[in-house]
Structure 1
Amino acid sequence: MQFLVVMWISSLLVGTQAQSTASFSRGNDRNKRCQYTFMVDSPTEASCPATASSAEIEALKSRLGLVEALISRLAGGEATDTEAQTGLRTAYTQVIGDRDRLQQENTRLGQQVKQLQQTVEELQREAERLRSRPCPQQSSQSVPLYDSSRQTGTDPSWSYGSPAYQELKAEVAEFPAPRTENTESIRGCGELLWVGEPVTHRKADSIAGRYGVWMQDSAEATGPYGPNMVWRIDTVGTEVRQLYGYEDMDQLSRGFPAKVLLLPEAVESTGAAMYRGSLYYQRRRSRTLIRYELGSESIAARRDLPHAGFHGQFPYSWGGYTDIDFAVDENGLWVIYSTNKAKGAIVVSQLDPHSLEVMNSWETNIRKATVANAFMICGRLYTVASYGSPNTTVNYTFDTATSQSKAIAVPFQNRHRYNSMIDYNPAQKKLFAWDNYHMVSYDIRLGKQQ
């Protein structure tokens, strides 16, 4: 028996020599009985086959790799989409903001249009009311403040078509008429005794009209345009060449020019004047005087003013290159300027209106840079003290007949506080002025000083 057991064990050992290993174990089974277990390699396979498990693992790895790649791509796409969405949101916000601003601007402009329409309607109703109102009767003993009422027998605000009728009536009621004693005829010559309240005829439409010159020809006007024609030049700019013509004061106040002329030479400053069918002005950046004939629309004469300062050498106190200033009065055509020889004092010369030749000259003792403006009346030079003070004076006069000057104090108002032009119109017996965009006129009274 022992031999059989030994043989059996030997056969097992011999049978397993070619195998890798053999194992023996001992343990209790479920019934707690001792159980011996031998494990040897298979004769054909060194280990249990794991091909199927490895394939599953590899497939799982492959799928996991695909999932990881997909997650990476999705993560990258989300970042790109986020940046794109952020850019789109920014652009959308800007567009919405622009749209809101445009809507607000459109609303504001619409409100302005409605306000302007209401203003126009109110002015039209006021004009209709004034047209239906009978003209007031003038007292034979009263002296009205406006020359237009003397000439037409109507209220001056009506004759100029002014919408500020109530304001003008209040001014007439508030300020008494000037005294009439010791005066000459208002149509004759004399010394300046009184300057009335400024009457506004029009306000310029743009910045080009902050400074300017406006004028009417005298009663001796020749050519295609009569004395009722009103002329205007806006002098803000480097090439000022446009001359606007209006049929009368009413058309000026309405802003409807009947003629626009393009001057062949640019205008320097606010010193131009109209006389006997010609415009007289200083050519820009020179001492050259020009006579522009309205009938032929061409330059009829030109001449240099001897030794005259120009382009800021001897201006009025407000500046504006007002070195050479034309003036017209009952005695003819004048030019107001200064020279180096006069050392800045005002020089007055009377000109031949056809050739522009200097016929006579007077050197005054009035410093040109210390006065705001000057004009001629009946052969006398008058200067204004301030261009900006609302209440100033006509402060000096120089008489060319006697070559004597003296200080005076005739009250004068700069209602709009920047008066850049003052000229006398002998036909209307008025002063014309350009006060900070506004074209205004003043009634005056002449007589004999006591």
Structure 2
Amino acid sequence: MRALFSVLYPVISITVFGLYPSMTIGPKEGWQVYSSAQDADGRCICTVVAPEQNLCSRDAKGRQLRQLLEKVQNMSQSIEVLNLRTQRDFQYVMKMENQMKGLRTKFRQVEDDRKTIMAKNFQELKEKMDELQPLIPVLEQYKTDAQLISSFKEEIRNLSMVLTAIQEEMGAYDYDELYQRVLRLDSRLRNCMGKLTCGKLMKITGPVTIKTSGTRFGAWMTDPQASQRNNRVWYMDSYTNSKIVREYKTMEDFVANVVSRTYNLPFKWEGTGHMVYNGSLYYNKYQSNIIVKYSFETGRVLAQRALEYAGFHNTYPYSWGGYSDIDVMADELGMWVVYATNQNAGNIVIAQMDPDTLEVQKTWNTEYSKRNAGESFMICGTLYITNSHLTGAKVYYSYSTKTSSYEYTDIPFHNQYFHMSMLDYNARERALYAWNNGHQVLFNVTLFHVIKTEDDS
């Protein structure tokens, strides 16, 4: 996927944007974060409300200055790690590296000739601190917890005052205490980023057309469990009467139609609700409610299991038909399967499944008719359902397995080629893969995160 976006968007930039002002967060919920793979203009987005980076120094103690600079650089690298998780951070990394190199040069100048240029360099460092000050009103906008905001503001204000005092009177502050403050900010930033995992769907942008090929119906996918270096693509044309799966080593090969390997499955498939997960293909066996797990490495079926009471062979398909009764999918929390039963009056059933044994671990009965659903996909344990497979479709309904509750939503997306026969979420890429009337396209998603900090516990 990384290679894909290097092809589609040779120049990528970081965009920071605000939250909706109508959203109110309670005092126990912590910081707010938006993250998205890409916006409508093709720009990368990864916005974190986090502690400010502070650069400070006391005197010409070269070793201590270098240690302090190293910790500040580590905080910057932590933010870089967060952006790498979204695969859209190239320009940001370059910017931060240049900034750090500039600061490193200033510190070297202080060490080389502190008597003649000390005052000038510290003034420039003070200006760098002032440039970071706009982070404070952003934090205030995103967080109504006055106590936490006040704490951050006080820490930043104190560090800024210390920097001013250093400029006026060298040696007037305890360096070790200042160093510990930087350490604490660094630790809190890392804790924040460690909790940035799941979120609620807020927006769908795109699509980006990757290729035009095959029939009107089909499926294509990558493995969300694969390493970042593994960008293989799998392609399954048509919704029935086929056993051929084509594999491409990279997204570029897929676009150029350079097939690396072809698999002949032991059983035909039905529908387009297939999934590749941790090196294996999961699909609905032809004219049955059986889920098959097929290993690409060994070329063997590792497991197969019938879904109890699940309708099949156009008993309860999506609105477009195509034997799409059973839809296998995955998200950040694992493997899922969506289907319908007579016992649930033809409404959608969500089942969490063990990817090794295909054993159903738990089920949830929704009140949304499977035949009235255009497509569906899971994100962070929540099933999102579109109200149509045609033009004008939108994400109309969501069901949370965490709370066993549903809500009606209104999240539009652009059905560019008028007929959707496959729509699946890839947690590694934070993107939706779709088969849109013979076009293989990608949609990007924006998720809203509410994460807790130690201050909120």
| Shorter-chain TM-score tier | 0.5 to 0.7
Question: Is 1:199 the counterpart of 2:208 in the alignment?
Answer: yes
**Residue by residue, what CA displacement relative to the aligned partner does 1:184-237 show, whole Å, maximum 9, x if unpaired?**
979621110000010111111x4xx2210111101346xxx9641111100255
Which residue of structure 1 aligns with residue 236 of structure 2?
Answer: 233
* 8 Å Cα contact 1:289/1:305 also seen in 2: yes
Question: Is 1:151 the counterpart of 2:154 in the alignment?
Answer: no
Distance change in 2, residues 1:428/1:286 (3 Å): same
Question: In 2, distance between residues paired with 1:233 and 1:353?
Answer: 21
State the SS of the aligned residue for 2:87: helix
Which residue of structure 2 aligns with residue 212 of structure 1?
Answer: 218
- Counterpart pick for 1:282 among 267, 271, 284: 284
Question: In 2, distance between residues paired with 1:253 and 1:427?
Answer: 20
Which residue of structure 2 aligns with residue 110 of structure 1?
Answer: none
TM-score calculated relative to the size of structure 1: 0.59
Structure 2 residue identity aligned to 1:151: Q
1:139 deviation in Å?
5.0
- Counterpart pick for 2:198 among 189, 195, 204: 189
1:154 deviation in Å?
6.5
Which residue of structure 1 aligns with residue 307 of structure 2?
Answer: 305
Distance change in 2, residues 1:135/1:282 (3 Å): closer
Structure 2 residue identity aligned to 1:201: I
Which residue of structure 1 aligns with residue 444 of structure 2?
Answer: 443
* 8 Å Cα contact 1:218/1:227 also seen in 2: no
1:411 deviation in Å?
1.1
Distance change in 2, residues 1:138/1:295 (3 Å): same
**Aligned positions of 1:111-122 closer than 5 A:** none
Q: How many residues end up aligned between the 2 structures?
A: 287
Which residue of structure 1 aligns with residue 172 of structure 2?
Answer: none
* 8 Å Cα contact 2:424/2:433 also seen in 1: yes
* 8 Å Cα contact 1:374/1:383 also seen in 2: yes
* 8 Å Cα contact 1:425/1:432 also seen in 2: yes
* 8 Å Cα contact 2:12/2:44 also seen in 1: no
Distance change in 2, residues 1:292/1:414 (3 Å): same
1:135 deviation in Å?
5.1
Distance change in 2, residues 1:339/1:258 (3 Å): same
Distance change in 2, residues 1:314/1:139 (3 Å): closer
Structure 1 residue identity aligned to 2:87: Q
1:248 deviation in Å?
1.4
Which residue of structure 2 aligns with residue 31 of structure 1?
Answer: none
Structure 2 residue identity aligned to 1:192: L
**Aligned positions of 1:157-168 closer than 5 A:** none
Question: In 1, distance between residues paired with 2:43 and 2:10?
Answer: 16
* 8 Å Cα contact 1:328/1:376 also seen in 2: yes
Question: In 2, distance between residues paired with 1:334 and 1:241?
Answer: 23
Which residue of structure 2 aligns with residue 104 of structure 1?
Answer: none
State the SS of the aligned residue for 1:388: coil
**Aligned positions of 1:237-316 closer than 5 A:** 237-238=240-241, 240-316=242-318
Please identify, of 134-143 and 349-358, the stretch whose mean Cα deviation from structure 2 is larger. Answer: 134-143
Which residue of structure 2 aligns with residue 413 of structure 1?
Answer: 414
State the SS of the aligned residue for 1:252: helix
TM-score calculated relative to the size of structure 2: 0.58
Question: In 1, distance between residues paired with 2:248 and 2:44?
Answer: 18
State the SS of the aligned residue for 1:413: coil
* 8 Å Cα contact 2:330/2:426 also seen in 1: yes
1:299 deviation in Å?
0.3
**Residue by residue, what CA displacement relative to the aligned partner does 1:361-419 show, whole Å, maximum 9, x if unpaired?**
00011111111001100000000111111x32100000001110110001111100010
Distance change in 2, residues 1:137/1:296 (3 Å): closer
1:147 deviation in Å?
7.8
Structure 2 residue identity aligned to 1:229: R
The alignment's C-alpha RMSD in Å is 2.9
Question: Is 1:354 the counterpart of 2:356 in the alignment?
Answer: yes
Which residue of structure 2 aligns with residue 373 of structure 1?
Answer: 375
State the SS of the aligned residue for 2:254: helix
Structure 2 residue identity aligned to 1:188: T
* 8 Å Cα contact 2:221/2:276 also seen in 1: yes
State the SS of the aligned residue for 1:250: helix
Structure 1 residue identity aligned to 2:320: W
Question: In 2, distance between residues paired with 1:182 and 1:442?
Answer: 27
Distance change in 2, residues 1:328/1:137 (3 Å): closer
- Counterpart pick for 1:337 among 323, 336, 339: 339
Question: In percent, how many aligned pairs have the same letter?
Answer: 33
1:286 deviation in Å?
0.4
Distance change in 2, residues 1:309/1:136 (3 Å): closer
Task: Pick the structure with greater CA Rg.
Answer: 1
Structure of greater relative contact order (alpha carbons < 8 Å, 6+ residues apart): 2
1:448 deviation in Å?
5.2
Structure 2 residue identity aligned to 1:415: Q
